Structures are given as structure tokens and as C-alpha cells.
């Protein structure tokens, strides 16, 4: 199973008793339990570490650099001044996300500065435990795109490429309850392959539904609440939100369509890695026409 490091910096061992009005009432053990439960759903093995000492954190990162695939780090106060930690994150060359329980940009001015931000994929703060979960998603989005790019170098066909993309996304993101590819055929979108419940919408006219609207507009559409969007073509009463990303190069070849049973499941980070993977698919198609 893929190993991801979860690192907690100084004073996070006091969670639950340290300024609960800012950091909440979860203890560090309870926080790790929630992260571990989510990581398991993502088929990830979390490795947790907490220290109040800069050197110990750096030693832990370095000692696991060859076996881990990524890192989610809440460096605490070290975030704001530790160039040694910044250099360590850069040196071990693992995809990393900086996270914080509280919103550091709404607190003291010194907390607005992060010296590690530029060597991380993203900075996520102010969401409590969700900061860590979303941080893991960002790491998995990065790794998933890398995996798809590697696969495309030797893929035998477009069909294989589409199937690999869907498989990677469904494996890594439990919130992606229905994950599929639609291809453009004339004036319609035709379902190619998917993982999830059977869909009644195997052919969708371009311009109709959220899928058809994304192709007609040539842009990604994120719908936080499908029941509030008149364009939605009902597939399942369990579907609450949707994202549709065109596979677009010199023309639009199709789209990645994902439904979730969770309201508001999709964020700008989802858009980022899905648009990246759609771009990779389009480039593969154009190189192999």
C-alpha cells in the first residue's frame, strides 16, 4: 500500500487542550484516527509523526524519503521561519502539502508568512481536520496524474488510456462515486467506460444536461448541488454534486464526468488535477492519430 507521511510540528501534541477556541477539541490521537480512516478509503498507508523539535522532524522526513510517496505537513510555528525545514522539503523531493487547522491568514500578521509554501503543492488552512484530508487529496491528485502520464508513454490505444484514467480516479478518491468518460460522436456524447452504478444516459446531445453544457461551453463545470441546477439529467437520487471536464486539444474529444454522493464535493484542487489529466489524454490522442 502507498505510504504518505503526516507530520505534526511543535505544540500539536497539546491539541484538545491548547486554545480549543482556535484549534478545536480533537486530541492529536483523535485527529490521526480520522485521517487514518480516510486514508484507508483512499488505499493509503499513513505514517504519523509529531515533534516539538525541528531537527527530529527533518530526520523523520529524510529517513522515510525513499519509501513514502508524498507528505502532508502541519509545521506549526516552524512554518513561518524555518528555512532548514523548507530546504528539507525541497531536498527529499516528495510532493508535499502544507496544512493548518486554523485560518492562518485571519490571525496574527507573522502567521501570514510561510517559508515552506513555495516548495509545497498547496497550502490549505482553516478547515480543521478537513485541511489534512484535502491535503491528502492534493497529493493523490498529483501522484495520479504522474501515474497516468507514465502509462500514456506505452499505452496501446485510446481505449486503454481512458480506462486507465477512470481506474486511477476511482481508486484514489472515495468521494468520486461515479467516474466515467464520454466521447464526442457527431452531435452527441456517448458513454465510453465508467465505474459506478449503471447510467440511463448513455447518449447525451451536446448542449443538454451538465455534460452537454460543458462541451458546448468548452469549459469545466462544477455543480455543488445538482438538485439546484436545472441542467442536471437525473441519474441517481444519491447524486448530490458533479464535475465535468472537457478533454480538449485541437478539438474536444470527450469529457471526464464525475458524480458524488456528497454535496459540494468538488473544489478548485479537483479542477486542477482533472484538467491536467484531461490535457494529458488530449495530447496522447493527438500524438497517436
Contact by Cβ (8 Å): 46, 39: yes
SS3 assignment, position 248: strand
Contact by Cβ (8 Å): 265, 134: no
User: Euclidean distance between the first and final Cα of the chain, in Å?
Assistant: 36
Q: Is position 23 annotated as part of the catalytic site?
A: yes
Residue among 100, 194, 232, 253 flagged as catalytic? 100
Contact by Cβ (8 Å): 282, 162: no
Q: Which cell is 128 given?
A: 480543521
What are the CA-CA distances from residue 210 to residues 124, 176, 231 (Å)?
A: 29, 17, 6
Give residue 159's Cα distance to chain centre.
24
Give residue 35's Cα distance to chain centre.
15
Contact by Cβ (8 Å): 228, 254: no
Q: Is position 192 annotated as part of the catalytic site?
A: no
Contact by Cβ (8 Å): 94, 71: yes
Residue among 8, 23, 182, 269 flagged as catalytic? 23
Cα separation, 234 vs 224, in Å, equals 15
- Residue positions annotated with a catalytic role: 23, 100
Amino acid at each position: 500500500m502507498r505510504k504518505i507521511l503526516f507530520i505534526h510540528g511543535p505544540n500539536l501534541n497539546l491539541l484538545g487542550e491548547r486554545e480549543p477556541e482556535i484549534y478545536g477539541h480533537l486530541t492529536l490521537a483523535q485527529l490521526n484516527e480520522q485521517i487514518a480512516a480516510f486514508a484507508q478509503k483512499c488505499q493509503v498507508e499513513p505514517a504519523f509523526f509529531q515533534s516539538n523539535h525541528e531537527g527530529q522532524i527533518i530526520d523523520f522526513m529524510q529517513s522515510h524519503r525513499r519509501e513514502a510517496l508524498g507528505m502532508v505537513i502541519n509545521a506549526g510555528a516552524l512554518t513561518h521561519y524555518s528555512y532548514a525545514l523548507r530546504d528539507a522539503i525541497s531536498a527529499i523531493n516528495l510532493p508535499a502539502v502544507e496544512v493548518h487547522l486554523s485560518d492562518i491568514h485571519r490571525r496574527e500578521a507573522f502567521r501570514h508568512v510561510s517559508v515552506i509554501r513555495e516548495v509545497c503543492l498547496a497550502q490549505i488552512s482553516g478547515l480543521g481536520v478537513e485541511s489534512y484530508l484535502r491535503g491528502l487529496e492534493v497529493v493523490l491528485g498529483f501522484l495520479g496524474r504522474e501515474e497516468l502520464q507514465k502509462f500514456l508513454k506505452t499505452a496501446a490505444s485510446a481505449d486503454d488510456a481512458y480506462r486507465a484514467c477512470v481506474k486511477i480516479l476511482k481508486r484514489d478518491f472515495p468521494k468520486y462515486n461515479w467516474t466515467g468518460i464520454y466521447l464526442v460522436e457527431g452531435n452527441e456524447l456517448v458513454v465510453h467506460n465508467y465505474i459506478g452504478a449503471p447510467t440511463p444516459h448513455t447518449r447525451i446531445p451536446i448542449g443538454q444536461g451538465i455534460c452537454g453544457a460543458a462541451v458546448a461551453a468548452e469549459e469545466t463545470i462544477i455543480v455543488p448541488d445538482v438538485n439546484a441546477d436545472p441542467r442536471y439529467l437525473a441519474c441517481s437520487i444519491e447524486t448530490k454534486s458533479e464535475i465535468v471536464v472537457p478533454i480538449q486539444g485541437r478539438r474536444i474529444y470527450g469529457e471526464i464526468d464525475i458524480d458524488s454522493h456528497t454535496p459540494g464535493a468538488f473544489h478548485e484542487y479537483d479542477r486542477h488535477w482533472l484538467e491536467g489529466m484531461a490535457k494529458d489524454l488530449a495530447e496522447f490522442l493527438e500524438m497517436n492519430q
